[in-house]
Amino acid sequence: MGPFKTPWSTFFAWVVTAVSIIIAITWAFIDLQLSKRKANKRENKRE
C-alpha cells in the first residue's frame, strides 16, 4: 500500500501527473538553452 492507503498501482497515476509537470519544465528549459545557443551561433557567423 502506498500513501493514503492507496494501492501502488493506482498511486502511480498521481506520480505520472507530477512527472508530466517535471517533463514540461525540463523541456522548456532545454528548449530555451538550445534556442539561445542557435541564436549565438547565428550571431557569430554574421560577425
Q: Which residues bind other proteins (CB under 8 A)?
A: 4-7, 9-10, 12-14, 16-17, 19-21, 23-25, 27-28, 31-32, 35
Count of CB atoms within 10 A of residue 1's CB? 8
Give the whole-angstrom CA distance, residue 22 versus residue 15. 11
Q: Provide the minimum distance between the beta carbon of 22 and other proteins in the complex, in angstroms, as a whole number.
A: 9
* Choice between 14 and 40, CB closer to other proteins: 14
Give the whole-angstrom CA distance, residue 22 versus residue 34. 18
Q: Provide the minimum distance between the beta carbon of 29 and other proteins in the complex, in angstroms, as a whole number.
A: 8
